[in-house]
Structures are given as C-alpha cells and as structure tokens.
Amino acid sequence: MAKGPKTYPVGSVVMIRKWERKPANWNVDMYDKLSGITTVVRHVYPGAEDDTTYRYNLKGWHWDWRHCDLILISLPEPNPNSAFRIKKHGN
C-alpha cells in the first residue's frame, strides 16, 4: 500500500470549511464569501510533506486550499473505460 498524504482526487466534491475565526493565511473574501461553499477539486499538488499543506485548486476559484480547509462531500465516479485501458496496457 502506498504511503504518503491522503488526498482528495480530482473531481471530488468538497465544501470549504467554516472556521470560527479567519485563518491567518485567508483573505476577507475567502472567509466571508467562500466559507461553506461546495465546489469541485480541479487540481491537486503537494505543498509540503504533510497533508495539512497539500494544495487543492477548486473549480471557480483562483486560490489554493489546504487539505484541512476542505470537507469531503463525495468522491468522483470511476471511469471504467479508463480503468480498462490502464489494465490493458499494463500500467
């Protein structure tokens, strides 16, 4: 089993967490307008070695979000055609 940070895959539906107080790295728009919004993960990349700084780019917003800022709503549906092609080519 692969080790490393747990992440939400591209296509996951997530909700931006509502914090009691504005996190230091958030601006006013992020805190006031986006807290509680549900959206989709469109890109995932590591920000550092632990999962609290793993970065997500969400559909509709130009800011990057930490793993701890998001709440998973649902995972994307698997694509059986992609899985078949991967298996067929030995990847």
φ, ψ for residue 32 (rounded to 5)? -80, -40
Q: Is 45 left (phi over 0), alpha (psi -120 to 50) or beta?
A: beta
| Pair of tokens at residue 20 | 């009691």
Would you write out the chain's pLDDT as a tens digit for each of its 91 residues? 445 557 888 889 999 999 999 998 888 888 998 999 999 988 887 765 554 556 788 888 778 888 889 999 999 887 777 666 666 666 4
